[in-house]
Structure 1
């Protein structure tokens, strides 16, 4: 017997995944553009309903706890149990821990259903607009993880790995790993 397909809420916050080439004459740095998820979802064409919401459009180094509170509000108030957050890679682990501390996916007291939510935070090391981006792979893997997962909680989902948000860190090589695996090697 197969699991029923569930609706997915997609929250966009900016980050490298949404960056585009400079649009102003003489500009030299990438800028945050239109949400990359619109392009990605049109290419993926998933077989389940989804809803886009934009929380903010920032480089993740500029995301504050006030922005994380806005993310939390969207998670809590959303009707969907499955939530994908696109986020910049520099601070996605901090956002994951913020949501974990708030009790998302842990039977928290926000109201019915919030304790059963599954949240996947993903992004890209190269903007979606680039030919060799990792955005499509990361988003596709995160969406598959959400549909297949039965364990509520917050996860950082990057490069084919889903790591519990409370334990996700970036190592010295820039890869996302579980801190329990890193600590067990010493």
Structure 2
């Protein structure tokens, strides 16, 4: 069994950059590799960039690709970086389509390229969770780990909360 962790990047706020000329955010090259290098992560990992989309733009076909990639991967421990708006929808698909693996979804409420971003903390939490959590789908955000099927994003509070 490999100890390596697979990291699937899909876009979302964690990988957004601000372009002055356009006066808007766009999803850029993933910052995940840089964050892990800066954190001096020693455990082997592999990064696969699947797409660069805001999670509100993800389609059923995108979710099927995420699930197929996770299912077919040699790794049994997987992190998916994802936009927070539809993270729980993807968690439901992964729970149905990828049994027997530990999958942790994470993202950020502000881009990783920002000095005061939650991205590196959330990624670290996801990396730790992927190593110790039981098989299933988890969401690691804001210092908490949630069952991926028992959580929702509270937009007003700017955080995820557990649901029954």
Q: C-alpha distance in 2, partners of 1:47/1:7?
A: 10
Match of 1:119 among 103, 128, 153: 103
Q: CA deviation at 1:123?
A: 0.3
Q: Could you tell me which residue of structure 2 aligns to residue 112 of structure 1?
A: none
1:1-186 alignment to 2 at 5 Å?
6-22=3-19, 25=21, 27-102=22-97, 104-105=98-99, 115=100, 117-149=101-133, 151-171=134-154, 172-180=156-164
Q: CA deviation at 1:101?
A: 2.5
| SS at 2:140 equivalent | strand
Q: CA deviation at 1:57?
A: 0.5
Structure 2's unaligned 5+ residue stretches are: none
- List per-residue Cα deviations over 1:47-90 (Å, max 9, x = no partner): 21100101110011101110000000110110001100000011
Q: C-alpha distance in 1, partners of 2:158/2:94?
A: 22
Q: C-alpha distance in 2, partners of 1:6/1:120?
A: 15
Q: Which of the pair is proportionally richer in strand?
A: 2
Structure 1's unaligned 5+ residue stretches are: 106-114, 181-186
Q: C-alpha distance in 1, partners of 2:18/2:93?
A: 31
Highest CA radius of gyration, 1 or 2?
1
Q: CA deviation at 1:5?
A: 8.0
CA RMSD of aligned residues (A): 1.5
Q: TM-score, normalised by structure 2?
A: 0.94
